[in-house]
Structure formats: C-alpha cells, structure tokens
Amino acid sequence: MLNFENLTSFQIDVLREIGNIGSGNAATSFSKMLGKRIEMNIPEVKIFDFKDLSEILGEAETVVVGLLLSITGDVQGFILFILEYEQAKLLVEMLLSELSPFTGEFGELEISVLKEVGNILSASYISALSTLTNLRIVQGVPEIAIDMAGAILSVPAIELGKVSDTVLFIETQFMQDENTITGNFFLVPDLETYDNLLHALGVLD
C-alpha cells in the first residue's frame, strides 16, 4: 500500500495535475453558474499530521460552510468544498438575486442553493478526473454543515485516520474577483485509491 510520506515529488506533481484538471473544469462551471469570471490558484498537494489539520483554514474555530460528498467506484473518498460563512452569504446572494432576494439567513432555499453549488462543482471536477484516468467515479449527494472548520474537517480526517497517520489534500482556491469569494476545494481519496489513481496515469508500478 501507498504511504503518503513515501510519495515521490513526481507523484505529487501528478496529483497536483489531477487537481489542476479537475478544478479547471469546476472553475468553468462555477463561472457559468455565476455569469462571472472565476480565477483559481494552482492546486496544492498538502500532507499534514492530524494534530495540525484543524488549523489549515486559519483558526479551527472559524465558522465555515462545508459541503461534503462521498465518491465511490474506482476512486473512493470524499470531496469537501469549504466556504467561509460570510463568503457563502455573498455567493447565495449572487445566485438568488433575481428570483427571490436573500434574507441574510440560511433557510431551506439557501441551503439547497449551496448544496447545488457543491453538486455542480464536484460533478465537473469528477468528470474531468474520470475522463483523464478512464476510471469510473460516482458522486454521492452533497451534505451540508455550518460550523467550526476543525469540526467539519474531522469528518474526512477520521476516515483517513483508519489507514493513515497523515492526511493528504489536493486543495484549490477559487476566487471571484469583484466580490472576493474564496472557496477551498479538497479532494480526499482513500489511501487504497491512490494506487488506482496513480496506476491509471501510469506513474506507479
């Protein structure tokens, strides 16, 4: 089995490229959805000890909106999309503006708007990933939680904790300039799944 600490820099580059292609597609969908230009950074591959994990988004107590989707098939794991609370408000406001104005509270409608954002972004990410690797990847239904960043990150961390002492994220930031909406998109494959991913791309014997 693969161990995160033993990944070569070439394999990490490949994972970053996977993130790049997935996020590029997701950014395009995001941009279409908002009718605005979306920029993204170059994805980063980050390996953390669990004890440092809760601080990767700033403070562990920062209130964020987390959208979590399970992925199954040849690649198993999670996709987690995290927006800061105020930025999630901004995003909902932009998407709701014409139909029904945003009240400033996250009601049923606002929650389903956010879930749909998670759905569309993940679907674009996964479809790019699937095309690239020729692997079958199925995405689950998005679930939402609005709470402390640390508490939300604990969910995928626990899953990885069963097989690993470290956690690997492929992280991308999306930015919508005018309104400076920044979202963090994490792909968190299971440890066993890295073999499938890297095999499919021919970078693991």
Residue 147 to residue 86: CA distance in whole angstroms: 13
36/115 with CB nearer another protein: 115
The CB-of-54 to another protein minimum distance in angstroms stands at: 5
39/165 with CB nearer another protein: 165
Strand 143-148 vs strand 63-73: parallel, antiparallel, or unpaired?
A: antiparallel
The CB-of-123 to another protein minimum distance in angstroms stands at: 18
DSSP class of residue 70 equals E
Residue 171 tokens read as 């992280």
49/108 with CB nearer another protein: 49
Whether 4 contacts 168, CB under 8 Å: yes
94/153 with CB nearer another protein: 153
The CB-of-168 to another protein minimum distance in angstroms stands at: 13
Binding site for another protein (CB under 8 A): 49-54, 59-61, 63, 66, 68, 70, 140-141, 143-155, 157-159, 161-165
Residue 104 to residue 146: CA distance in whole angstroms: 14
Alpha helices in 70-190 (DSSP H): 85-96, 108-133, 149-161
Whether 37 contacts 176, CB under 8 Å: yes
The CB-of-98 to another protein minimum distance in angstroms stands at: 30
